[in-house]
Amino acid sequence: MTADLVSADFKTNLIDIVIDAPTLILPFKQNSREEIESSQCWVFTVGDAKFRSVKDSEKFDYSISEGFEFKVERMKFEYASNYALWKKVQ
C-alpha cells in the first residue's frame, strides 16, 4: 500500500482556533468598590491559546496523516500596587 492510498482513506479536518487571553484580577481588599479600586492586587493573564491542525509538517521528523499543534503565548503573573493605576496603564 502506498502512502497516497492510506491517506486517501481518511477525511482531513482543518482546524485553526485562537482564543485571546483573559485577564484575572485578584484584589487584596474586597469589601467595597472604592476599596477594590485603591487595593493592591495580583494580575494573572491566562495567555493566548492557539490550536490548529498540521499535516506533514516540517517541524516533525516523521510524516503524520493528521496532527495538531497547541500553543499558549503571553502568559504572565504580576503584582500591582494599585488596581486603579494599573487599569489606566493598560
CB 73 within 8 A of CB 33: no
Q: Which residue would you say has higher pLDDT here, 73 or 56?
A: 73
What's the pLDDT score for residue 59?
60
Cell matching residue 29: 481588599
CA 41/CA 22 separation, integer angstroms: 16
Helix (H/G/I), strand (E/B), else coil: 46: coil
Q: Which residue would you say has higher pLDDT here, 63 or 69?
A: 69
Helix, strand, coil percent content, the chain, rounded in steps of 5: 20, 35, 40
- Total residue count of the chain as it appears in this document: 90
Domain boundaries, the chain: 3-89
Render pLDDT for 7-49 as a digit per residue (tens, 0 to 9).
Answer: 555 566 788 899 888 889 999 998 988 888 899 999 999 889 9
Instruction: Inform me whether the pLDDT recorded for 65 exceeds 70.
Output: no
Confidence of residue 1 (pLDDT cuts 50, 70, 90): very low
CA 85/CA 25 separation, integer angstroms: 13
